[in-house]
Structure formats: structure tokens, C-alpha cells
Amino acid sequence: MRSMKIITMPRVDDVIAPIFYTVPMQLLSYHVALIKGTDVDQPRNLAKAVTVE
């Protein structure tokens, strides 16, 4: 394991917390996927989860 880093988010009201934290968590997920080498545009098992009729 490389080095661990801590992301500190400011405390916000519970009503706006989901909106406020969504973008940083999406960016974190994106960068983790890049580090792992996963294809962020073609997630595994997507065809099983999404059905178009």
C-alpha cells in the first residue's frame, strides 16, 4: 500500500450534505478507478444491471 491520505470535508447542515459531498466523492471514485486501472466508461456487469426495452 502506498501512502494514505485524509480528505477533510467541512461540516455542513444535514439538509445540504448530500448535495455538498456528491462532487468530491465522485472525483475520489474516478481517481481511485484510474489508479486501479479500471475502465471508468465501461463498468463491469453494466449490461446485467441496465436493461433497455
Grid cell 489508479 in the structure block, residue: 35
For position 22, what pLDDT does the model report?
A: 93
Given a contact cutoff of 8 angstroms between Cβ atoms, the answer to whether 50 and 43 are in contact is: no
Name residues whose C-beta falls within 8 Å of residue 7's C-beta, 6 or more positions apart in sequence.
Answer: 24, 28
Break the chain into its structural domains and give their ranges. Answer: 1-40
Residue 5: all three cell numbers together: 491520505
Given a contact cutoff of 8 angstroms between Cβ atoms, the answer to whether 36 and 26 are in contact is: no
Quote the pTM value.
Answer: 0.62
- One-letter amino acid identity for 4? M
- One-letter amino acid identity for 38? T
pLDDT tens column, 17-33: 999 999 889 998 998 99
